[in-house]
Structure 1
Amino acid sequence: MLLADPPLTRRARRPAKQELPRSILRAYRRVSCTMDEAISLPSGDSRDVALHEARKAAKRLRYAIEAVEPAVGKPATRLRQQLAAVQDLLGEHHDTVIARPVLRELAINAHLDGGNGFTYGILYATETVRAREIEHALPRAWNRLRTPKNTAWLTS
């Protein structure tokens, strides 16, 4: 009896191709709010933390999209690919956030040991410049992801 007539909710009875985009839309909105907030902040610790939160939210969204991709098809694939590009930038940014204090510590230790920490300073500066370049590129990548071509399927 249970197999023949399972107790499904109204939403569970809808075709997957109609219902799944709604759940992806909720995750997309969370990422969108987090990204918009992070991008609006000035460079610094607060922005670094906000971008890391956006990275984690984007990762959850990407996994959700991967789960619905077989049912939804090309539109989901296109959004996932655009999201992967944004996620790559966010990951690279986070790498710079992690590397900079380590390089600073290495420079201090080199100096305390009688060595020269100049090279670590150069590496630190390189990581700082890279972080700013990524922060500059992020809004463009994020706006490319948000186009109706990539997101229309979420509301249809």
Structure 2
Amino acid sequence: MDGIRSTKQSRPVLSRRGLLGGVSVITCTTVAGCTYFPSEIGASEDEIEVLVDNASGQPVEVAVLLTDDEDEHLFSHVFSLDTDQFGRAGDITQEPLEVNIFTSNGHSKSWEYTPNHPRGSDCDMGDIGMTLNQDGTVDQWYDC
């Protein structure tokens, strides 16, 4: 076999880091410049989404953590939102027990997940919403 070269080319091996980097670039490119409004959100009624409305008057980062009754993490995400920007993330299929948020300007809030939908509504689980206000308070709400 000396002197014989293989013409078979090997396929490039894609590392996990390379794959994640590529997905991140595609995701950022797809999402950049979009504005979301609660009425346009089309999640399945079997999934929960996290919705954050930045009405604080300044850019902010918001870390959201959802835990279950065994204190297991069901969802964690950091939103980087400009002034008056609305963000959404997640397709959570298990009902959380607690919602925890932490903002880059030093505010935090925790509450139990307790959606109170009107009788006869079509959704089993409600999307988790929050509005960051100019005075540093956070209003929590649910959407179906």
Question: So what's the TM-score if we normalise by structure 2?
Answer: 0.27
Q: Could you say which structure has the higher helix fraction?
A: 1
